[in-house]
């Protein structure tokens, strides 16, 4: 679980460097392709058939679970500071709770309401108290796109919960990444041609490989393995470190800065998540 969180956290700083060379849609298409290929290879060892009816619903699950989620995040990352994009990932539990309360009629406690409000305050501070200076400035638009990416994933977890539990995680991931790649390929084909990806320097290809394989495929695989031996409470505790690691790496390599507003927003978001999971 520790390795999975570390790999997932480095998407922001590593992706920010790659986005200086290629369009966000190109990067996300390559990421989806790499992960899809790896999951199809892994599925050879997981023999499971999906019904045609469920394939139809899996397409829409892919739209929210991978296509919009990862697409909006990469585009948002291209427009904002990697520190901010890392912290926005912490909003997923708060958004999931809110949607579950509306759609699944889950019980809402005072603790959960307080958590959502505290976390929302932290996100608001992060969005509106942003800095425009430096090589990688933050922006309201980029922060909101990263937040919408978490909203998309929250919708996926809530509306497609029964479908997710019905099949093996490898089977689900195989179809999610495949559908998303096909859709993104047609959307980003013009950008892929313009970016001349075959002429990219080796160090950029290494970073793309890290994002597609380590930060996506390996991370998903490790999370699946961790769920077999750790309970949800422990897994949630590890998730608290995700934005801190991502933001820490970004600051360490000079891709972001931390001011008093960022520290305050971080504290509020993490406290909010802890209240929700209490």
Closest CA to 89 of 273, 276, 235: 273
Model confidence at 136, pLDDT cuts 50, 70, 90, reads: low
pLDDT, residue 63, reads: 92
126's tokens: 């992060």
Q: How many alpha carbons lie under 13 Å from residue 182 in its C-beta half-sphere?
A: 8
pLDDT, residue 238, reads: 67
pLDDT digit string, tens, across residues 36-90? 999 999 999 888 888 989 999 999 999 998 899 888 888 888 887 777 777 777 6
Residue-wise burial string across 246-263, b where 16 or more C-beta atoms lie within 10 A, e elsewhere: bbbbbbeeebbbeeeebe
Whether the per-residue pLDDT at 133 is higher than 50: the answer is no
Whether the per-residue pLDDT at 148 is higher than 50: the answer is yes
| Number of compact structural domains in the chain | 1
Q: At what angle do helices 140-159 and 69-79 cross, to 10 degrees?
A: 170
Per the structure, the complete domain to which residue 253 belongs is given by 2-42+49-276
270's tokens: 């993490």
Closest CA to 22 of 229, 194, 255, 227: 194
Whether the per-residue pLDDT at 135 is higher than 60: the answer is no
Model confidence at 257, pLDDT cuts 50, 70, 90, reads: low
Closest CA to 241 of 69, 40, 9, 72: 9
Q: Are 187 and 23 in contact (CB under 8 A)?
A: no
pLDDT, residue 277, reads: 67
Most confident of 59-63, 80-84, 115-119, 247-251: 59-63
- The sign of the CA dihedral 25, 31, 35, 36 is positive
249 vs 132, residue with greater confidence: 249
- Strand, coil or helix: 40: helix
């Amino acid at each position: 679980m520790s390795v999975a969180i570390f790999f997932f956290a480095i998407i922001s700083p590593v992706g920010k460097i790659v986005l200086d060379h290629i369009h966000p849609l190109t990067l996300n298409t390559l990421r989806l392709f790499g992960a899809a290929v790896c999951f199809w290879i892994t599925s050879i060892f997981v023999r499971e058939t999906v019904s045609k009816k469920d394939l139809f619903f899996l397409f829409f699950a892919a739209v929210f679970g991978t296509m919009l989620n990862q697409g909006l995040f990469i585009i948002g990352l291209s427009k904002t500071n990697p520190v901010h994009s890392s912290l926005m990932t912490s909003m997923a539990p708060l958004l999931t709770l809110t949607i579950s309360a509306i759609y699944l009629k889950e019980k809402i406690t005072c603790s959960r309401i307080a958590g959502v409000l505290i976390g929302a305050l932290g996100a608001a501070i992060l969005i509106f108290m942003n800095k425009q200076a430096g090589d990688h400035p933050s922006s309201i638009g980029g922060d909101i796109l990263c937040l919408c990416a978490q909203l998309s994933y929250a919708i996926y977890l809530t509306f497609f919960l029964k479908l997710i539990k019905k099949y093996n995680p490898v089977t689900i991931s195989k179809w999610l990444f495949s559908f998303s790649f096909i859709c993104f390929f047609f959307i980003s084909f013009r950008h892929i041609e313009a970016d001349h990806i075959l002429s990219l320097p080796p160090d950029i290809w290494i970073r793309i490989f890290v994002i597609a394989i380590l930060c996506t495929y390996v991370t998903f695989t490790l999370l699946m393995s961790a769920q077999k031996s750790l309970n949800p409470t422990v897994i949630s505790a590890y998730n608290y470190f995700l934005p801190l690691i991502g933001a820490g790496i970004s600051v360490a390599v000079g891709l972001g800065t931390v001011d008093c507003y960022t520290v305050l927003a971080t504290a509020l978001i993490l406290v909010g998540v802890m209240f929700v999971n209490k």
